[in-house]
C-alpha cells in the first residue's frame, strides 16, 4: 500500500506538471483501440485534471461539460440526484466564493429558472408548472422508466447521477465510449436500433460471422450523441467531438462525486496530522522503552 | 493473569466510597497495568487495532442510520443523499464502507498471528473459540451491511447468499422464505437486514468483552509461546500501560494512515462499480462477486458441483477453525520452533490468498489464458474451477491432516524455558 501511495504521489506531481503544460492539447486526443477486456479502460494517454490524489476539477471544463449535458444528454438521460444548487456549491462548476450559499448564486438561479418544474399550486392544489429554483433537482426528460424505454427503442437511458462511479473506468470509460463509435467490422451483424461500440461491455459472438476472433465490445442502443459543433461553448473553445466527450465525462465525474475536491484536501490534512502523530508516538515509544531490553 | 494483584489505592473520599460499592476504577486500573509479556512484537498490536475498528464502525454506523432509509424504494437514494447533502456525509459513509475492509484486513492478520504462534492451544482455547464466533458474526454483519445501499451487487448478492439456505434438504425452502420474509429478496429482506446489521455489532461488542475476559484469565501468548510462571513475572513482563499502550498506539496510527489513503484518495477502489447502479431485480449483473474479504469462502462454495455440498464445505472451512485447538497435536506453540510446519503455514497463507483470487474470477475462465488443458470430470484443468478445488483440498488438508500429523512426527527446535532467553537459545541453535 505504501508503495502504491508513493507511486501515486509521484504520478500526481508529474500530472500536475502535465496538466499545466498540456491542458489545451489534451482534448485533441482520440480514443485508442481497446486492448484488454472492456472494463480495464485506459484510453486517454493524457490525464484528466481531477485524477490522482491531488487532482482538481478544471472549472471551465465542468462548465462546458454542463452545457453538453444540458443540450445533448439531458434530452434522454435523467440526473435526478443532482440539484441546481450543487452547481454553485464548493467544488461545483459555477462555484463563486462571493456566494457562500449556492442558492444565492445568480448563475445558478438563472440556470434553474430556465427549466419548468412540475408542482402543486399552494392555494388551489392544482398541478402546475413553475420556474425552477436552485433547490430543485434536475428535471427528468421522461415521467418514468417505462416511458423512457418506450421512447428509446426499448432501452432505458441510465440515470446519470452516479454514472461515472457506476462504470469501471469512470470518466475514462465514458470518454472512450463516446469516442469509440465506429463502423462494425465486416461480418458483424448489427440489429436495427443498435450501434457497435468496442468499449461497450457485451458479447457479440452470436452476431459474428467474419474471420478471426470475435470483436471486442457490444451493441449499444444509444446512437453516437456527439458531433463537431453540437454545442457552442461560451468560452469559445472549439467544440470538437473529443472536446465535448472529455468535457461531459469530466462533468459526469463531478456529478457522481461532487465532494471529491473537499475529500482530497481533507485527506492531505488528515495524512499530515497522522504523520505528526506517528512521529510523536514513535518518539514516546522509544523514550518509554529506552531502558527495557526486549 | 487472573492472579494479578491489584495495585489500585483509592486516594480521595469519593474514590474510597465508590470502590467499596462498585470497584469500577479498580477494574480499569488493574486492566491497564496487567503484566504483559515483554517480547510481544507488532503482530500483537492488531487486537487493539480491531477494537478501534469496531468502535469506528459502530460510531459511523449510528450516524449513518440517522440518515438512511431502509426501504427498497428509497435506500439507494438515501445513501446518495448522505454522500451529497449531509454535512461530511461522504466522509462518514466512506469511513464506514472502507472500515469494513480495514476491519477484515486486521482480523485476518490477527488470526494469522494466532495460527502462527499457536495462540489457540491450551490454556487459551476459549479465547480462540470466542474469536471464531466474532469472525462469524463479522461476516454476517458485513454481508448484511453490503445489502443496505440496495445497489445491483447488494441485491443480487443477497439473492445468491440467501438462496444458499434454500439448498439445505427438507427444511431449506422454509428457512429461505422465513429469512427473506417472502418468496424473493425484497422490502422485508432489506428491513430485517438493516435491523440485524444494527444489532449484531453490539453482539460482537459483547463477545469481544468475553474474548478479553478469557484473554486475561489465561494470559497472553507471546512470540516464544512459553507460559510465564509467576516467579518469572518480574523479568518477563511489563505493565500494559504505558509500555504497550504506546506501542499499540504507534501501530494504530500507522494503520489509520493506510485507512485514510483508502477513504480519502481511493474510496471506491475496494468496492464494485455495479453497486452504484440502483437494484434492478429484472437485470442480473454479468458477474456477481462479494466483497474481497469473503472471496475465499465464495470460491470454495462454487468449487463444489453440488449446491448443498458447496454450502457444507463453506461452513466446514470455518468450522475447522473451531476444531483447531483439538486437531493440533504439537506440544510447541510457536512456529518459530517448528521449521517444517512453518512452511506448511506459509503455503496456507498463499493458498488462502489465491482462493480469494479464484473467487473473483468466473469458474470456467482459464487460469493461464490461451492454454487449453485437458478436461477432468466437469471442467477444464486449466480453469479457476480446478484451481479452486486444489486450493480447497490444501486448505482442508492443512487442518485435518498436516496439523495433527506434523505435531506427532516433526522434531521441533529446542524451545527456551523463558521468554527472556530466546536470544541465547537462538545462538545455540545456530552455533
CATH number at residue B147: 1.20.810.10
Say whether A166 and B273 touch across the interface (CB within 8 A): yes
Using a CB-CB cut-off of 8 Å, the residues of chain B touching A284 are 246, 249-250
Q: What is the pTM of this model?
A: 0.91
Do residues B355 and B391 make contact, with C-beta atoms less than 8 angstroms apart? yes
CB-based contact A174:A193 (threshold 8 Å): no
Chain A residues in contact with B83 (beta carbon < 8 A): 259
Residue A48: what pLDDT? 86
Q: CB of A147 within 8 Å of any CB in chain B?
A: no
Q: How far is B56 from chain A (nearest CA, A)?
A: 16
**Cell for A191?**
440489429
Closest residue, chain B, to A162 (C-alpha): B276
Question: How far apart, in whole angstroms, are the C-alpha atoms of residue B258 and residue B53?
Answer: 13
- Among A160, A259, A260, the residue to mutate for chain B (most B Cβ within 10 A): A259
User: Does residue A138 belong to any structural domain of this protein?
Assistant: no
Nearest-CB residue to B265 (from A267, A274, A289): A267
- Domain assignment of residue B199, yes or no: yes
Number of cross-chain residue pairs from A and B with Cβ atoms under 8 Å apart: 91
Q: Which domain holds residue B277?
A: 34-290
Question: Measured between alpha carbons, how far is B142 from B291 in angstroms, rounded to an integer?
Answer: 9
Complex prediction ipTM: 0.92
Are B194 and B186 a contacting pair, CB within 8 Å? no
pLDDT in tens, B89-122: 999 999 999 999 999 999 999 999 999 999 999 9
- Please check whether residue B331 lies inside any domain of the structure: no
A136 contact B CB<8A: no
pLDDT for A47: 64
Strand partners, B273: none
Q: Say how many domains are in chain A.
A: 1
Partner B contacted by A202 (CB < 8 A): no
| Residue B123, all three cell numbers | 490454556
Distance from CA of A229 to the nearest CA of B (A): 32
Closest of B171, B173, B153, B151 to residue B163, by C-alpha: B173
Is residue B133 a part of any domain in this protein? yes
B51 phi/psi in degrees, rounded to 5 = -60, -45
Across the interface, whether the CB atoms of B250 and A294 are under 8 A apart is answered no
Structural domain includes residue A286: yes
Instruction: Please report whether residue B101 resides in a domain.
Output: yes
Model confidence pLDDT, tens digit, residues B218-253: 999 999 999 999 999 989 999 999 999 999 999 999
CB-based contact, A273 to chain B, within 8 Å = no
Strand, coil or helix: B167 = coil
Q: Work out the angle at residue B174's Cα, subtended by the Cα atoms of residues B173 and B176, and round it to the nearest 5 degrees.
A: 65
Instruction: Look at residue A283 and tell me if it is in a domain.
Output: yes
* Interface mutation target, options A79, A157, A277, chain B, most CBs of B under 10 Å: A277
Please report residues of A whose CB lies closer than 8 A to that of B77.
Answer: 81
| Residue B420 located in a structural domain | no
| Residues on chain B touching A258 (C-beta within 8 angstroms) | 84
Task: Give exposure, B118-131, as e/b (b: 16+ Cβ within 10 Å).
Answer: bbbbeebbbbbbbb
Cross-chain residue pair A274–B249, CB shorter than 8 Å: no
Tell me how close the Cα of B67 comes to any Cα of chain A, in angstroms. 16
pLDDT beneath 70, residues of chain A: 1-47, 294
Cell digits for A37?
477486456
Test A277 with B253 for CB contact under 8 angstroms: yes
Q: Does A277 touch chain B (CB under 8 A)?
A: yes
**Chain B positions in Cβ-Cβ contact with residue A274 (cut-off 8 Å):** 253, 256-257, 260
Structural domain that includes position A16: 1-30+260-294
Inter-CA distances, B201 with B57, B58, B294, Å? 8, 7, 18
Residue-level pLDDT at B7: 85
- In angstroms, rounded to a whole number, what is the distance separating the alpha carbons of residues A198 and A213? 13
Grid cell digits, residue B229:
510462571
Block residue for cell numbers 518509554: A288
Q: What is the pLDDT of residue B431?
A: 36
Is residue A170 included in any domain, yes or no?
A: no
Q: What is the pLDDT of residue A34?
A: 45
Q: Identify whether A16 is part of a domain.
A: yes
Let me know if residue A167 belongs to a domain: no
Q: Which of the four pLDDT bands, split at 50, 70 and 90, describes residue B6?
A: confident
* Closest CB to B91 among A53, A168, A266: A266
Backbone φ and ψ of A222, nearest 5°: -75, 125
At B426, is the pLDDT very low, low, confident or very high (cuts 50, 70, 90)?
very low
pLDDT tens digits along B267-286: 999 999 999 999 999 999 98
Q: Strand, helix or coil at B35?
A: strand
What average pLDDT score do residues B191-215 get? 97
Whether A271 sits inside 8 A of B261 (CB atoms) is yes
Whether B277 sits inside 8 A of A275 (CB atoms) is no
Question: Is B14 inside a domain boundary?
Answer: no
Q: At what angle do helices B384-397 and B295-303 cross, to 10 degrees?
A: 110
Let me know if residue A244 belongs to a domain: no
Is A149 at the interface with chain B, CB within 8 A? no
Say yes or no: A5 contacts chain B, CB-CB below 8 A: yes
User: Which residue in B has a C-alpha nearest to residue A254's C-alpha?
Assistant: B84
Contact residues for B243 (Cβ-Cβ < 8 A; gap 6+): A288, A289, A292, B36, B38
Q: A165 vs B268: CB contact, 8 Å cut-off?
A: yes
Is the C-alpha dihedral spanning B417, B421, B427, B428 positive or negative?
Answer: negative
Weakest mean pLDDT among B91-95, B308-312, B349-353, B364-368? B364-368
Residue (of A184, A194, A192) closest to A214 by Cα position: A184
Residue B387, Cα to own-chain centre: how many angstroms?
24
* pLDDT mean over B362-368: 90
Mean predicted confidence (pLDDT) in B180-206? 97
Residues of B in contact with A285 (CB under 8 A): 246-247, 249-250
> What pLDDT score was predicted for residue B419?
87
Q: How many CB atoms lie within 10 A of CB A110?
A: 12
Asked if residue A91 lies in contact with residue A258, where contact means CB atoms within 8 angstroms, the answer is: yes
Residue B403's pLDDT band (cuts 50, 70, 90): very high
How far is the alpha carbon of B83 from chain A, nearest alpha carbon, in Å? 8
Task: Tell me what pLDDT residue B375 has.
Answer: 87
Total number of domains in chain B: 1
Q: How confident is the model at residue B4 (pLDDT cuts 50, 70, 90)?
A: confident
Q: Is residue B225 part of a domain?
A: yes
Mean pLDDT of chain B: 94
Q: How far apart are the CA of A282 and the nearest CA of chain B, in angstroms?
A: 6
- For residue B152, is pLDDT > 70? yes
B312 found inside a domain: no
Amino acid at each position: 500500500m505504501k508503495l502504491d501511495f508513493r507511486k501515486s504521489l509521484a504520478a500526481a506531481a508529474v500530472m500536475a506538471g502535465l496538466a499545466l503544460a498540456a491542458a489545451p492539447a489534451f482534448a485533441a486526443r482520440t480514443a485508442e483501440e481497446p486492448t484488454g477486456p472492456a472494463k480495464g479502460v485506459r484510453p486517454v494517454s493524457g490525464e484528466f485534471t481531477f485524477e490522482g490524489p491531488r487532482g482538481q476539477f478544471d472549472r471551465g471544463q465542468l462548465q462546458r461539460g454542463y452545457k453538453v449535458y444540458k443540450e445533448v444528454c439531458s434530452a434522454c438521460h435523467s440526473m435526478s440526484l443532482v440539484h441546481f444548487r450543487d452547481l454553485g456549491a464548493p467544488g461545483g462548476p459555477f462555484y463563486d466564493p462571493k456566494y457562500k450559499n449556492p442558492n444565492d448564486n445568480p448563475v445558478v438561479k438563472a440556470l434553474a429558472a430556465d427549466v419548468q418544474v412540475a408542482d402543486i399550486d399552494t392555494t388551489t392544489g392544482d398541478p402546475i408548472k413553475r420556474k425552477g429554483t436552485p433547490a430543485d433537482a434536475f428535471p427528468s426528460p421522461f415521467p418514468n422508466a417505462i416511458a423512457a424505454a418506450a421512447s428509446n427503442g426499448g432501452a432505458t437511458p441510465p440515470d446519470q447521477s452516479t454514472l461515472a462511479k457506476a462504470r469501471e473506468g469512470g470518466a475514462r470509460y465514458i470518454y472512450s465510449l463516446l469516442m469509440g463509435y465506429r463502423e462494425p467490422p465486416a461480418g458483424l451483424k448489427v440489429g436495427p436500433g443498435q450501434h457497435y461500440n468496442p468499449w461497450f461491455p457485451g458479447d457479440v459472438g452470436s452476431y459474428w460471422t467474419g474471420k478471426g476472433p470475435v470483436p471486442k465490445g457490444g451493441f449499444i442502443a444509444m446512437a453516437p450523441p456527439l458531433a463537431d459543433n453540437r454545442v457552442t461553448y461560451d468560452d469559445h473553445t472549439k467544440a470538437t467531438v473529443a472536446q465535448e466527450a472529455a468535457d461531459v465525462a469530466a462533468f459526469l465525474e463531478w456529478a457522481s462525486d461532487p465532494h471529491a475536491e473537499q475529500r482530497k484536501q481533507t485527506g492531505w490534512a488528515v495524512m499530515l496530522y497522522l504523520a505528526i502523530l506517528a512521529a510523536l508516538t514513535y518518539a514516546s515509544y522509544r523514550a518509554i522503552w529506552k531502558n527495557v531490553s526486549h | 493473569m487472573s492472579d494479578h494483584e491489584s495495585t489500585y489505592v483509592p486516594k480521595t473520599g469519593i474514590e474510597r466510597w465508590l470502590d467499596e460499592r462498585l470497584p469500577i476504577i479498580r477494574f480499569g486500573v488493574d486492566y491497564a497495568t496487567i503484566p504483559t509479556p515483554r517480547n510481544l512484537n507488532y503482530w500483537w498490536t492488531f487486537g487493539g487495532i480491531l477494537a478501534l475498528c469496531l468502535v469506528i464502525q459502530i460510531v459511523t454506523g449510528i450516524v449513518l442510520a440517522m440518515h438512511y432509509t431502509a426501504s427498497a424504494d428509497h435506500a439507494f437514494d438515501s445513501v446518495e443523499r448522505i454522500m451529497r447533502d449531509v454535512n461530511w456525509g461522504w466522509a462518514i459513509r466512506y469511513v464506514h464502507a472502507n472500515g469494513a475492509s480495514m476491519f477484515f484486513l486486521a482480523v485476518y492478520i490477527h488470526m494469522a498471528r494466532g495460527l502462527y504462534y499457536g495462540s489457540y492451544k491450551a490454556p487459551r482455547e476459549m479465547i480462540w473459540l470466542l474469536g471464531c464466533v466474532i469472525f462469524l458474526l463479522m461476516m454476517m454483519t458485513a454481508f448484511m451491511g453490503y445489502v443496505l445501499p440496495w445497489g445491483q451487487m447488494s441485491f443480487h448478492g443477497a439473492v445468491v447468499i440467501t438462496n444458499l439456505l434454500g439448498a439445505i434438504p427438507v427444511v431449506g425452502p422454509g428457512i429461505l422464505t422465513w429469512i427473506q420474509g417472502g418468496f424473493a429478496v425484497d422490502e422485508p429482506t432489506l428491513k430485517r437486514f438493516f435491523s440485524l446489521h444494527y444489532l449484531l455489532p453490539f453482539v460482537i461488542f459483547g463477545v469481544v468483552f468475553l474474548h478479553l475476559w478469557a484473554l486475561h484469565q489465561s494470559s497472553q501468548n507471546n512470540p516464544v509461546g512459553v507460559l510465564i510462571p509467576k516467579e518469572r513475572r518480574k523479568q518477563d513482563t511489563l505493565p500494559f500501560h504505558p509500555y504497550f499502550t504506546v506501542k499499540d498506539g504507534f501501530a494504530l496510527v500507522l494503520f489509520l494512515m493506510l485507512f485514510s489513503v483508502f477513504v480519502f484518495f481511493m474510496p471506491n477502489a475496494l468496492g464494485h462499480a455495479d453497486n452504484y447502479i440502483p437494484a434492478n431485480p429484472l437485470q442480473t449483473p454479468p458477474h456477481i462477486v462479494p466483497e474481497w474479504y469473503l472471496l475465499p469462502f465464495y470460491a470454495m462454495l462454487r468449487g463444489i458441483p453440488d449446491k448443498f455440498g458447496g454450502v457444507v464445505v463453506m461452513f466446514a472451512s470455518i468450522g475447522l477453525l473451531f476444531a483447531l485447538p483439538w486437531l493440533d497435536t504439537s506440544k510447541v506453540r510457536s512456529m518459530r520452533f517448528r521449521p517444517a510446519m512453518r512452511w506448511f503455514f506459509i503455503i496456507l497463507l498463499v493458498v488462502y490468498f489465491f482462493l480469494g483470487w479464484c473467487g473473483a474470477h468466473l469458474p470456467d475462465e482459464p487460469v493461464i489464458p490461451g492454454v487449453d488443458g485437458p478436461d477432468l470430470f466437469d471442467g477444464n484443468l486449466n480453469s479457476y474451477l480446478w484451481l479452486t478445488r486444489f486450493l480447497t483440498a490444501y486448505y482442508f488438508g492443512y487442518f485435518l491432516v498436516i496439523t495433527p500429523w506434523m505435531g506427532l512426527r516433526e522434531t521441533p527446535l529446542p524451545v527456551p524455558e523463558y521468554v527472556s532467553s530466546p536470544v541465547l537459545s537462538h545462538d545455540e541453535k545456530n552455533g
